[in-house]
Amino acid sequence: MLYYGEKEDHPEKMLPIQLPQSWKPLSPDYSDLMPVVFLHGMGDSGSNPGMQSLCQTARDAYPGLYVVCANVANGLASVTTPISSQVDELSQLVKADPRLAHGFNAVGLSQGGLVLRGYVESVNKPPVFRLITICAPHEGIGSCPTVYHLVCPLWRLAPYTAGLAFADYWKDASDRPTYIERSRWLADINNERPVKNAKYVANMLQLERYVLVEATRDETVVPHASESHGFYAWGTTPGANGPVLRLRETEGYREDHIGLLTLDRTHRIFEHTFEGTHLRFASEFWAHTVLPHIGP
């Protein structure tokens, strides 16, 4: 069974998914596992049937596991609320839950993965131990998401300051100085400005695992290498399909801006890909590749 988007023009809103019949829990009780928080993508909601079913697969895979299907910036709010405000909302939700007081693992879909990483770097109290992101635009997007084509003309008038969440992670690779100066969120959280934030690095290095899942035919996050911390080379014109640098070729990795080099050298970065478009992975991939990262 594939985990399809509910509509062709809304790939981040999910249809229900189930574990494959081949899955059998190894133990009847996983109540001692680290709790896990799931965060939806742009346009979706933690209470929608698709997200609820995704969270349920974790409970089914690990009976007794405490799972939170986070309702943060649901629906339209996820499109219009700045990422920093979504991070604040997530932080409030986490701090209000006593069962998360000693830390948790986290799974973020698309934009939800960015919000979770923002929480790790800027808050991380209580701490995240394993951060799993699926199709998250970590290094930004180089084109307006096609799913929001109706607002793209408005967004283009002020791509770094428009009242849309994805303006926070827009990156024009043809004009680095303007990006560094005007980026509302991404340039800061990725420590790309001249003055680095040591807290961001220290918090990332608290992770015991950082899991990156990339869709190799993604047309929503462009380039899809962003999902694994790659991006267009500086000097590339948007839409020109210029050279794309992979994670270990980027300046951010080489100079360890947020600790990726250190995490990699200590074997804490896990990279996975699936053949598919945005968030459209097989249930077998989900069960046998992703879910084990929140298991024992």
Give the CATH number, domain containing residue 171.
3.40.50.1820
pLDDT band at 127 (very low <50, low <70, confident <90, very high): very high
Read off φ and ψ for residue 115, nearest 5 degrees: -60, -45
Bridging pattern class, strands 10-14 and 5-7 = antiparallel
Q: State the catalytic residue, choosing from 110, 183, 228, 283.
A: 110
For 211-269, write each residue's pLDDT tens digit. 999 999 999 999 999 999 999 999 998 766 789 999 999 999 999 999 999 999 999 99
How many structural domains comprise the chain? 1
Write down the pTM of the prediction.
0.94
110 is catalytic: yes
- Does residue 186 contact residue 171 with C-beta atoms inside 8 Å? yes
Output the pLDDT for position 227. Answer: 98
- Does residue 89 contact residue 119 with C-beta atoms inside 8 Å? no
188 is catalytic: no
The percent of residues in the chain predicted with pLDDT above 70, rounded, is 94
For 40-66, write each residue's pLDDT tens digit. 999 999 999 999 999 999 999 999 999
Higher local confidence (pLDDT), 258 or 14: 258
- Supply the range of the domain harboring residue 89: 5-294
Higher local confidence (pLDDT), 26 or 273: 273
Output the pLDDT for position 241. Answer: 73
Q: State the catalytic residue, choosing from 172, 256, 278, 283.
A: 278
Output the pLDDT for position 1. Answer: 36
Output the pLDDT for position 9. Answer: 45
Alpha-carbon gap, residue 181 to 201, rounded angstroms: 21
pLDDT band at 123 (very low <50, low <70, confident <90, very high): very high
Output the pLDDT for position 147. Answer: 73
- Is the pLDDT reported for residue 2 higher than 80? no
pLDDT band at 14 (very low <50, low <70, confident <90, very high): low
278 is catalytic: yes
Q: State the catalytic residue, choosing from 218, 229, 256, 257.
A: 218
